[in-house]
Structure 1
């Protein structure tokens, strides 16, 4: 063999070895959202998940960010609003209705879906417990049925109609 052939062979082996070492030395950096936990936030999954303290996520991005930074995702507790007539003054057509069975630390809207559509005159949320007190004052004939909404979607079944 000539010296040139041997030199070319040695150079080829060295080049191949350096390429293999170089490829092993470059791990793929983890990108945000690549954890299995963060992956569960995609395709609408964030809407059924909460933080370890039960707080709902405002968006998919918020869920992915939380999980990517080591946050523990938990299934969101079920929402089953229960409407209880706390007090009523039938002569004045005033009602106080307590709503329980909602998620803590979550924003809800309440609308009377009867005719006419009514919103509460006094709205007292206790978001830490998921309890809301709704007061309707001097309604013409009654209130209801009342429907809870979260993010524009109805939650659970509406209440009964509360007549004067």
Structure 2
């Protein structure tokens, strides 16, 4: 991401409907909920899971260079970084990622196929027609996934 297109923390806070404590002019490079993937410029979304509460990794992600934390909890008194408090961290994860990546899904053309019989065959035919027209396509079916020329078996 170039500096001109960098997304600022304040923009992300507004996109997720959160309350920001900290510098809103900090550039956000990526968004993650996996503390092991946090790096310089990351925004970490701390989510409570069934077995692990990601809030226990906040200090670690900040040491790794994260620019802030998104959480449903109030900012701890001893935390000095940027904190965005939200009502729903899982929803905020999706909204923040979309904002930081500048909403790539808005550029997609989507074809959905529904019905009782013939969905997979129809999906494969539609993908073939799109590709024959010289357009890139991706495919999600019960048989396989295709994206950027790669095929992966669908595991149900």
TM-score by length of 2: 0.23
Which one has the bigger helix percentage?
2
Which one has the bigger strand percentage?
1
TM-score by length of 1: 0.22
